[in-house]
Amino acid sequence: MNPTGQPFGMSPPGPQPVGVDARQALNVPSLLVLIAAVLAALFAFVSLASTAMTSGSPDWLLNLIKEPELREQLREAMRQSESNKALNYGWPILMVLANGFAAFGALMMRNLKMYPVALMAGVVSAIPCLFTSCCCVFSMPAGIWAIIVLMKPEVRAQFS
């Protein structure tokens, strides 16, 4: 009796592997994570440059303002912000580092290398407005999408 209907001597066909191409599945989410990380890093660089330009002797900046009351208000605000120097410099530097990591992880995601780094890049991108400033509108959905795709076993198996 031959229940499989195969000619004798041949093994029955096994389950056919579902062909999930990880590179194609991760193409859009990794690209969105990369774009959001680069934009947020640029925003952090601008914030860092702005902090550096206004610290120290900002007289050249104050001379641009014509109204004396407004000039004094700005001078007082600058004096108060000088006391938060660690926060003024530390947060943009942390944003640059976190988004640099997210961009690196997105590139590894696109190349199917370093699975833990790619997964952590998705997690960093999915943190709402923590490291990504105004770009969280793009990075959160992209990070969540990347995490969902990365958690599939057939995608994880294709990483080297």
Among 2-6, 46-50, 85-89, 143-147, the range scoring the smallest mean pLDDT is 2-6
pLDDT for 66 beyond 80? no
Task: Give the residue with greater pLDDT, 89 vs 148.
Answer: 148
**Helices 27-54, 136-150: crossing angle, 10 deg rounding:** 140
Tell me the two tokens of residue 38. 């680069």
Q: How confident is the model at residue 49 (pLDDT cuts 50, 70, 90)?
A: confident
In this predicted model, what pLDDT tens digit does every residue of 74-84 receive, in sequence order? 777 777 666 66
Once rounded to an integer, what is the mean pLDDT over residues 30-41?
91
Tell me phi and psi for residue 59, to 5 degrees. -60, -35
pTM for the whole thing?
0.70
* Token pair in block for residue 101: 């990591």
Q: What is the pLDDT of residues 96-108, one digit of tens each?
A: 899 999 999 999 9
Q: What's the CA gap between 146 and 30, in Å, rounded? A: 7
Q: For the chain, which residues make up each domain, given as ranges?
A: 23-53+85-156
Q: Is the pLDDT of residue 16 over 50?
A: no
The three-class DSSP label of residue 6 is coil
Check pLDDT > 50 for residue 92.
yes
Residue 63 above 60 pLDDT?
A: yes
Cα-atom radius of gyration of the chain, to the nearest Å?
Answer: 26
